[in-house]
A and B are shown apart, each in its own frame.
Chain A
Amino acid sequence: RKRFLDLLMNSEKNRKEQEAFQNSGGRVFNKKLLKWRMIGEGYSSQLSINEQRYVFRLAFRMWSEVMPVDFEEDNTSPLSQIDIKLGFGRGRHLGCSRAFDGSGQEFAHAWFLGDIHFDDDEHFTAPSSDNGISLLKVAVHEIGHVLGLSHIHRTGSIMQPNYIPQESGFELDWSDRRAVQSLYGSCEGPFDTVFDWVRKERNQFGEMVVRYNTYFFRNSWYWMYENRNNRTRYGDPLAVSNGWQGIPTQNIDAFVHVWTWTRDDCYFFKGTQYWRYDGENDKAYAVDAQGRTYPRLISEGFPGIPSPINAAYFDRRTQHILFFKDFQVYAFDIVRNRIAPNFPKRIVDFFPAVIKNNHPMGHLDAAYYSYTHNTLFLFKGKDFWKVLSDKDRRSNPSLPQNGVLPRRAIAEQWFDICNVHTTLLRL
Chain B
Amino acid sequence: EKLFYRRDHSDLQSSNFQQAELVTDVISAQQYLAKYGWTEPVIWDETQASNSEPLKDTSLMEEAVRSTGKRSAEPTNSPPFVEVLKKFQKLNNLPTTGRLDDATINAMNKPRCGVPDNQVSKPSQEKPSFPRTPNKGTMPSQGADAPKTR
A positions within 8 Å CB-CB of B: 6, 9-10, 13, 22, 25-27, 45-46, 90-91, 96-98, 100-112, 114-115, 120-123, 125, 129, 131-133, 138, 141-142, 145, 150-155, 157, 161-163, 168-169, 171, 174-175, 178-179, 226-230, 233-235
| Residues in B neighbouring A235, C-beta threshold 8 A | 150
Q: Which of B9-17, B61-69, B77-85 contacts A (4 or more CB under 8 A)?
A: B9-17
- Whether A132 lies near B143 (C-beta < 8 A) is no
Among B9, B46, B92, B139, the residue within 8 A (CB) of A96 is B46
Q: Is B18 among interface residues, defined by CB-CB distance under 8 A?
A: yes
Among A26, A91, A100, A110, the residue within 8 A (CB) of B115 is A110
Given A104-B20, A141-B113, A169-B150, A98:B49 Cβ within 8 A:
yes
Which residue of chain B has its CB nearest to the CB of A102? B18
Interface residues on B, range: 35 or more
- Whether A106 lies near B113 (C-beta < 8 A) is yes
A169 to B150, CA, bound (A): 7
Q: How far is the CB of A26 from chain B (nearest CB, A)?
A: 7
- Whether A142 lies near B113 (C-beta < 8 A) is yes
| Residues in A neighbouring B21, C-beta threshold 8 A | 101, 105
- Whether A105 lies near B48 (C-beta < 8 A) is no
Which residue of chain A has its CB nearest to the CB of B12? A46
Given A103-B17, A121-B18, A235-B150, A98:B92 Cβ within 8 A:
no
* 13 A-B residue pairs with CB within 8 Å: A22-B126, A105-B22, A105-B109, A106-B114, A112-B44, A120-B14, A122-B111, A125-B10, A161-B36, A175-B134, A175-B139, A233-B148, A235-B150
- Whether A108 lies near B114 (C-beta < 8 A) is yes
CB interface residues, B 110-129, toward A, < 8 Å: 110-115, 117, 119, 121, 126-127, 129
Q: Is B142 among interface residues, defined by CB-CB distance under 8 A?
A: yes
| Residues in B neighbouring A226, C-beta threshold 8 A | 143
A138 to B10, CA, bound (A): 18
Q: How far is the CB of B84 from chain A (nearest CB, A)?
A: 15
Given A103-B18, A103-B19, A108-B114, A115:B142 Cβ within 8 A:
no
Q: Is B60 among interface residues, defined by CB-CB distance under 8 A?
A: no
| Residues in A neighbouring B44, C-beta threshold 8 A | 111-112
Given A153-B91, A171-B150, A105:B14 Cβ within 8 A:
no
A112 to B138, CA, bound (A): 27
